[in-house]
Amino acid sequence: MHVTLFGFILLPLCVLWFPRPERLLILIFVTAVFGAATPVVVGSLGLPPTAPPAAMFVLYVVSQIGFGVTFEGARTVMRTLEPYLLAITYGLISAFVMPRVFAHALQVWPQKDTVIYGTVPLMPGQGNVTQSFYLLMTCAVLLAAALYLARREIDLIRLVRVYLWCGVLAIVFSYWQLGQKLSGVWFPYGFISNNPGFRLTNSETFGFVPRINGSFVEPADLAHYLSGLVFASGWLVLRGFPSRLPRWTLIGGAFAMLISTSTTGIVMLVLGGAGSALIALLRQRTVVARRVVRVGVPLLVGLVVAAGVVVTLKPSVGRSLSVVYSSTLAKQQSASFSDRTQKDLDALATIFPTFGFGTGWGSFRSSSLVPGLLAGLGVWGTALLAWFVVRVVKLLRRARRAGVAAAASSHDIWAIEATRAACSGTLLSALISAPEIVNLDFYVLLAILIAASVRVAVLEPAALVPATRAVAA
């Protein structure tokens, strides 16, 4: 075991900021940008960069509970998270039980294919252990953050701004890597791509077009991260958020998704742009239409003009764009698409042989989220997660109804709008091309969404009751 340079910077900050839990949450957002880095290498595996600040934050919240500290809105938070906690419990049990119950009865795609590429007989393995660790970590962060952030004195919109600034950092690394691949400028690969547990794709090309993964493992990971950022930024812009930061992250994030050449990123741009604008226009036709024109038209014109100038000065760029465009359209005929589709079909094929109980969490690695959940958690665990989504949606509706009557803080309302869009973008991209969501920044954003909704729907109306009674008296 040894500590990397990344770890020498991160680990002391985690210890120093243990009494400052909000700074630990900020560290989770910052380290989430460095998806290919690791602070500590243990054998052939690297510790996720978000794990140290997450562990310190959870430890802080647990210590507060041990000292008898109570959290406002804890009852509503726990009721909302109840189906999720049941699903996590089922997942941990299934990781131990199902690979033994159905051992050698099924063929599964393992978490890593370092020895042989293809399906292997189902049996207990390292994937059950590592994925259970990720499951525990994400559950602990979501639960601890939702309880802690429901406190009314915490400025949630500050955390949203930090998330947007971390998005700027991810965008900068993307453009920096593009400059390195085009002109040979120095890029800190040794600092941000030092996790031996991943198969890094820094030298990948799309035909003769360099693929951009920035500070992440592969272009799809970059597109997955930027999907939440672009969705949040676009929605804040359409809703009229009083800051220029979302505009810059929207424009910069959209261009970064394009240069990543990730099919997921391009699809998300189309779906997100069209869907968000349509929903906003249907709800607030005049005001939002002006914002769409004011932001969207200059962005589109600038993209066309910049592309025209670059192609004129360097015709090879035009040929590169043609390769990316044709390869994206022909994705369904590619070997990669067939491989991903086969994994998802094989995952769905495990439902009936396991009687809906699944193969056990960590036993099967699919290509997209729903088949992966059905294979790992089975029908029953996936149903619990669907129940959790319904609970969150009901809480959001309750917060929306109570917002005006409770004179809710505008910061809480903006935090709900931003995190709702960010979580939707991340979830939608995972439905397209991610087997699971283990990014801890997603769970912090989800915790902010739940905490802000609890504050608007439960805590602030309750605080107004004594004041109302006093005025009546």
DSSP class per residue in 425-441: HHHHHHHHH-S----HH
Q: Which of 36-45, 146-155, 233-242, 443-452 has the highest mean pLDDT?
A: 443-452
d(CA 328, CA 326): 5
User: Which pLDDT score, from 0 to 100, does residue 460 have?
Assistant: 64
How many domains is the chain partitioned into structurally? 1
Q: Which of 64, 43, 84 is nearest to 151 (CA)?
A: 64
Q: Say whether pLDDT at 470 is over 60.
A: no
d(CA 167, CA 226): 7
Helices 219-239 + 410-433 axis angle, to 10: 150
More confident residue, 236 or 270: 236
d(CA 416, CA 435): 26
Enter the DSSP assignment of 364. -
Give CA torsion, residues 343, 49, 168, 316, to 10 deg: -50
Work out the mean pLDDT of the chain and round it to a whole number: 83
pTM of the entire predicted model: 0.88
378, 87 Cβ separation under 8 angstroms? no
Range of the domain at 87: 2-472
Where b means 16+ CB within 10 Å and e means fewer, 87-122 reads bbebbbebbeebbeebeeebebbbbeeeeeeebeeb
Token couple for 91:
């997942």
More confident residue, 30 or 334: 30
Q: How confident is the model at residue 153 (pLDDT cuts 50, 70, 90)?
A: confident
224, 430 Cβ separation under 8 angstroms? yes
User: Which pLDDT score, from 0 to 100, does residue 281 have?
Assistant: 63
Token couple for 340:
């991903």
d(CA 31, CA 242): 27
Token couple for 427:
């979830």
192, 176 Cβ separation under 8 angstroms? no
Q: Which of 147-156, 272-281, 382-391 has the highest mean pLDDT?
A: 382-391
